Amino acid sequence: MQRTDVIVVGAGPTGLLLAGELALQGVRVTVLERLREPDPTIKSGSVNVASAEILDRRGLLPAAEEVHRRRVAAAGALATGRANATATGLLKGIKQTSRRFPVMGHFAGIMFRNDLVDQEDPALAAHTAVANGVAVPQYELELLLAEHCTRLGAEIRRGVAVHGIRETGADLTDGAGVTVETGAGAFTAGWVVAADGGRSVIRKQLGIDFPGTDPAMVGYQAIADFDDPSGLHRGWTWTPRGVYAYGPVPGRILVARFGRQPENPENRDAPVTREELQEMVRDVTGVHVTIEGVQGRVTRWSDNARQAAAYRAGRVLLAGDAAHVHSPFSAQGLNLGLGDAVNLGWKLAATVQGWAPEGLLDTYESERHPIAAWVLDWTRAQVALLRGDERTARLRKVVGDELFTVPGAMNRMVALSSGIQQHYAVADGADDAEGPVGSLVGDAWLTSGGRLADHAHDGRFLLLDRSHDGRFAEAVRQLGHRIAYLTDPDGDPDADAGRAPAPGPTSDTSPPSLLVRPDGVVIWSTAHGEEPADDTARKRLDSAISRWAGAR
């Protein structure tokens, strides 16, 4: 029997990122994955800004940017070599300067438009540093994260199918360990995280309820070789039977049909045949195309939307699709899972190592469950707008042509889709949605020319002290192993708006000092431009440290 601190079941993006977060904190972790190789099935084509910022904080942004550059180059070559207009559109969509917020994606097929986005909006301008690292497909992301995990010492065991779990020496709800039964033998750990997908074996065995809404559509996504695709319209097209999107990559098609589901729903995990895909494409598009072959595997999916009633049962936790499933529109599932992993990783590590403040691990569910519930409704709303009937078409036209063109509306939709609007109640129950506390830190520039993210690679908390006298240093003097201390007394007030500090003398008004969790969430801040004469700010800092970083 093999023993480790934490077993992560599933080597998708969620499981791999979580394993990396645990290993970064010195926790022994083993990842068990049933597939022998990473799945090349066509899935998400990019990550959102919040996910790219996770990669940035762990020093993985350069690798993501390299993937981005390769895709830009490939799209450019395709556009030049084949005069492909849609490839040119893809190139324009992902080629961004480092100081612009990346505007990509859609809401229910209504494409986000660069010309309607105000790049000076502070909500967007504070999150531009990762713009050249978002065009990372899921397959490439898994390769990147697997290499990251291995480099940190995490063990990834592929070709290991998990059959179930059992308690080790005591009841699961309060025992000292959990044993995972697999075809390769038994593995035992103090904790187990199920990141094994929407049909999670572990969630089912634990009997955790998975309530939600049944599917109203079935969809397929593939790169197909058509005999003659000239009858297919580029972009999103609605029909009486459903909706489809063709391009921008040649042969790439997404097709969804409302109403009639597959004839053998019990066999929904079976590989999609060429004939099944062809029947669906012909039925929805109304075009009698012939599919001569497919590149890679075809993805079959639905708008089944469900969320686990609980994310934890004793020493077993759920993350990613094991905790929530929904339709794949806007690739929200990938990003939601990465958010779970980075939120859970440091909290579980603190619990394993024995320094976690009371109730810390419980905040994983209390923080992430509402985020997932929101995402499920976000995708349900898109499905509602995707129907091809005439009444829904009228509503879609009002939303796209009228509502989305109202000044600020496109900014709001882009910000929500990008994940940067996440907010947690972290300050003693206070939920100051107007300030930085509880929000993602974004681009915190330093007068040294670097950024706060450059100092987050080791996974510690970050205290950015912008006072002129370094008055907050004493608060973390004995916690250097958990909290990195940085001074930036001449911080530029424009820096937190996503702009590099201007040369020359700085403003008399400095931006606030910040305490940031390992997952990028601000948990303490001074008032902007103030250095209070009393010790109020220090007391709040001490409270935040005690609540989140533990005793000295």
pLDDT (tens digit, 9 = 90+) per residue, 18-37?
999 999 999 999 999 999 99
- The residue from 252, 275, 302 where one domain ends is 302
Residue 131 backbone zone (phi > 0: left; psi -120 to 50: alpha; other: beta) = alpha
Q: Are residues 312 and 459 in the same domain?
A: no
Predicted confidence band of residue 63 (pLDDT cuts 50, 70, 90): very high
Q: Are residues 206 and 319 in the same domain?
A: yes
User: Using CA atoms, how far apart are residues 308 and 368, in angstroms rounded to an integer?
Assistant: 11
In a domain, 443, yes or no: no
Q: Going by C-beta distance under 8 Å and a sequence separation of 6 or more, which residues neighbour residue 12?
A: 39, 142, 195, 197, 320, 321, 337
Q: Lowest mean pLDDT: which of 41-45, 91-95, 168-172?
A: 91-95
| Cα→Cα distances 101→220, 309, 404, 416, Å | 30, 35, 18, 13
In a domain, 147, yes or no: no
Q: What is the pLDDT of residue 530?
A: 55
More confident residue, 83 or 207: 207
C-beta separation of 27 from 352 below 8 A:
yes
Q: Are residues 287 and 158 in the same domain?
A: no
Residue 470 backbone zone (phi > 0: left; psi -120 to 50: alpha; other: beta) = left
CATH number at residue 179: 3.50.50.60
Q: Lowest mean pLDDT: which of 39-48, 89-98, 350-359?
A: 89-98
Q: Going by C-beta distance under 8 Å and a sequence separation of 6 or more, which residues neighbour residue 15?
A: 8, 9, 31, 33, 193, 195, 196, 319, 320, 341
pTM, entire model: 0.91
Q: Going by C-beta distance under 8 Å and a sequence separation of 6 or more, which residues neighbour residue 504?
A: none
Q: Going by C-beta distance under 8 Å and a sequence separation of 6 or more, which residues neighbour residue 87?
A: 75, 78, 79, 248, 249, 250
Q: What is the pLDDT of residue 492?
A: 52
Q: Are residues 334 and 391 in the same domain?
A: no
DSSP assignment of 5-60: EEEEE--SHHHHHHHHHHHHTT--EEEEESSSS-----------HHHHHHHHHTT-
Overall number of domains in the chain = 4
In a domain, 430, yes or no: no
Predicted confidence band of residue 84 (pLDDT cuts 50, 70, 90): very low
User: Using CA atoms, how far apart are residues 137 and 252, in angstroms rounded to an integer?
Assistant: 14
Q: Are residues 540 and 463 in the same domain?
A: yes
In a domain, 380, yes or no: yes
Structure tokens at 257: 């049909």
Structure tokens at 314: 């004793």
Tokens 């004939």 belong to residue? 275
- The residue from 276, 302, 328 where one domain ends is 302
Q: Are residues 283 and 316 in the same domain?
A: no
529: number of Cβ within 10 Å: 12
Q: Are residues 265 and 391 in the same domain?
A: no
CA of residue 180 relative to chain centroid, distance? 27
pLDDT in tens, 112-147: 999 999 999 999 999 999 999 999 999 999 999 999
Q: What is the pLDDT of residue 94?
A: 47
C-beta separation of 311 from 195 below 8 A:
no
Predicted confidence band of residue 528 (pLDDT cuts 50, 70, 90): low
**φ and ψ at residue 435, rounded to 5 degrees:** -105, 180
Q: Are residues 200 and 222 in the same domain?
A: no
Long-range interactions of 94-100: CB distance < 8 A, separation 24+: 94/46, 94/68, 94/134, 94/135, 96/131, 96/132, 97/131, 98/128, 98/129, 98/131, 98/132, 99/128, 99/131, 99/498, 99/499, 100/128, 100/131
For the chain, the farthest-separated pair of C-alpha atoms sits apart, in whole angstroms, at 76
C-beta separation of 308 from 388 below 8 A:
no
In a domain, 471, yes or no: yes
H helices within 286-331, ranges in order?
A: none
Query: Using omega within 30 degrees of 0 as the cis cutoff, is the peptide bond preceding 248 cis?
Result: yes
CATH number at residue 295: 3.30.70.2450
User: Using CA atoms, how far apart are residues 492 and 188, in angstroms rounded to an integer?
Assistant: 51
DSSP assignment of 100-140: S-----EETTEE--GGG--TT-HHHHTS-TTGGG----HHH
Task: Using the predicted structure, report yes or no on whether residue 109 has a pLDDT greater than 80.
Answer: yes
Among 471, 488, 482, 476, CA closest to 535: 471
The percent of residues above 70 in pLDDT, for the chain, comes to: 86
C-beta separation of 142 from 334 below 8 A:
no
User: Using CA atoms, how far apart are residues 203 and 193, in angstroms rounded to an integer?
Assistant: 10
User: Using CA atoms, how far apart are residues 95 and 109, in angstroms rounded to an integer?
Assistant: 21
Q: Going by C-beta distance under 8 Å and a sequence separation of 6 or more, which residues neighbour residue 223?
A: 42, 249, 251, 252, 253, 294, 295, 296
In a domain, 456, yes or no: yes
User: Using CA atoms, how far apart are residues 325 and 380, in angstroms rounded to an integer?
Assistant: 11
Average pLDDT value for residue range 485-494: 74
Among 521, 549, 484, 202, CA closest to 349: 549
Q: Are residues 206 and 310 in the same domain?
A: yes
Q: Are residues 315 and 192 in the same domain?
A: yes
User: Using CA atoms, how far apart are residues 429 and 544, in angstroms rounded to an integer?
Assistant: 11
3-class DSSP assignment, residue 292: strand
DSSP assignment of 219-248: EEEEEEEES-GGGSPSEEEEETTEEEEE-S
Average pLDDT value for residue range 162-187: 80
- The residue from 367, 402, 421 where one domain ends is 421
Beta-ladder partners of 312 = 317
Q: Are residues 398 and 324 in the same domain?
A: no
pLDDT in tens, 363-387: 999 999 999 999 999 999 999 999 8
Task: Using the predicted structure, report yes or no on whether residue 261 has a pLDDT greater than 80.
Answer: no
Residue 83 backbone zone (phi > 0: left; psi -120 to 50: alpha; other: beta) = left
In a domain, 382, yes or no: yes
User: Using CA atoms, how far apart are residues 534 and 26, in angstroms rounded to an integer?
Assistant: 39
CATH number at residue 487: 3.40.30.120
In a domain, 440, yes or no: no
Q: Going by C-beta distance under 8 Å and a sequence separation of 6 or more, which residues neighbour residue 322?
A: 10, 194, 195, 196, 197, 198, 200, 202, 203, 308
Residue 247 backbone zone (phi > 0: left; psi -120 to 50: alpha; other: beta) = left
Range of the domain at 400: 46-136+387-421
Q: Are residues 376 and 404 in the same domain?
A: no
3-class DSSP assignment, residue 306: strand
